[in-house]
Amino acid sequence: MTRKRRGFSDEYKAEVVKLVKESEKSIARVCRELDLTESAVRRWVVQSDVDAGRGPSGALTRDEQEELRRLRREVQQLRMEREILKKATAFFAKESS
């Protein structure tokens, strides 16, 4: 049975990661107690390490991920604007001939 996707605040995730790291309990046990999935909590722990500079090489921090998303949206917008300008240029060149 699949469960409905839930959203958690950054503060909640940080508290769960802190609980995992500071307690003697395993991730599996913490997940059972809090009714969370192990895969999600493991991702939160790994991302916490990356954000703290202890992650694998090439891993992006949350700030870097957000910047990448923003830049990709900006590139998409600029490409759309460029296509509009190309079509407008072609239209007006055709009209003036």
Considering the chain, what is the average pLDDT of its residues? 93
Tens digit of each residue's pLDDT (9 = 90 or more) over 22-59: 998 999 999 999 999 999 999 999 999 999 988 888 89
Q: What pLDDT is recorded for position 3?
A: 74
Question: What would the mean pLDDT of 4-8 be, rounded to a whole number?
Answer: 89
Note the pLDDT of residue 90. 93
Per-residue pLDDT at 30: 95
The pLDDT of residue 94 is 87
Long-range contacts of 70-77 (CB under 8 A, 24+ apart): none
Give the C-alpha separation, 84 to 75, whole Å. 14
